[in-house]
Amino acid sequence: MARGRLPRAVGATLAAAAMVCGSLIGSGAASQAATPAQACTGTVCDDFETQTGTQPSGLWQVSYQDCQGTGTATIDTSVAHSGTRSVRINGGGNYCNHVFVGTPTTGLGAQIFARFWVRHSTAQPQNHTTFVAMHDAADNNRNIRIGGQNGALQWNRESDDATLPAQSPVGVSLSTPLPVNQWTCLEFRLDTSAGHIDTWVNGAAIEGLTVDGVPTQDVDSQWLNRTWRPQPTDFRFGWESYGNDSDTLWFDDVALGGSRIGC
Note the residues at the interface with Ca ion (CB under 5 A): 47-48, 80, 82-83, 85, 252
Distance CA 196, CA 108 (A): 16
| Cα 62 from Cα 87, distance rounded (Å) | 11
Minimum distance from residue 199 beta carbon to Ca ion (Å): 23
Whose Cβ is closer to Ca ion: residue 83's or residue 148's?
83
Q: How far apart are the first and last CA of the chain?
A: 9
CB of 180 to Ca ion, least distance (A): 20
In the complex, the smallest distance separating the C-beta of residue 26 from Ca ion, rounded to whole angstroms, is 12
Nearer to Ca ion, 211 or 261 (CB): 261
Q: Which is closer to Ca ion, CB of 245 or CB of 252? A: 252
* Residue 261 beta carbon to Ca ion: minimum distance, rounded to whole angstroms: 16
Please state, in angstroms and rounded to a whole number, the distance separating the CA atoms of residues 104 and 60: 9
Distant-in-sequence, close-in-space partners of 183: CB < 8 Å, separation ≥ 6: 81, 117, 118, 119, 252
Closest to Ca ion by CB, 47 or 220: 47
Taking the least distance from each CB to Ca ion, the nearer of 85 and 115 is 85
Pair 5, 23: CB distance under 8 Å: no
How many other C-beta atoms lie within 10 A of the C-beta of residue 237? 26
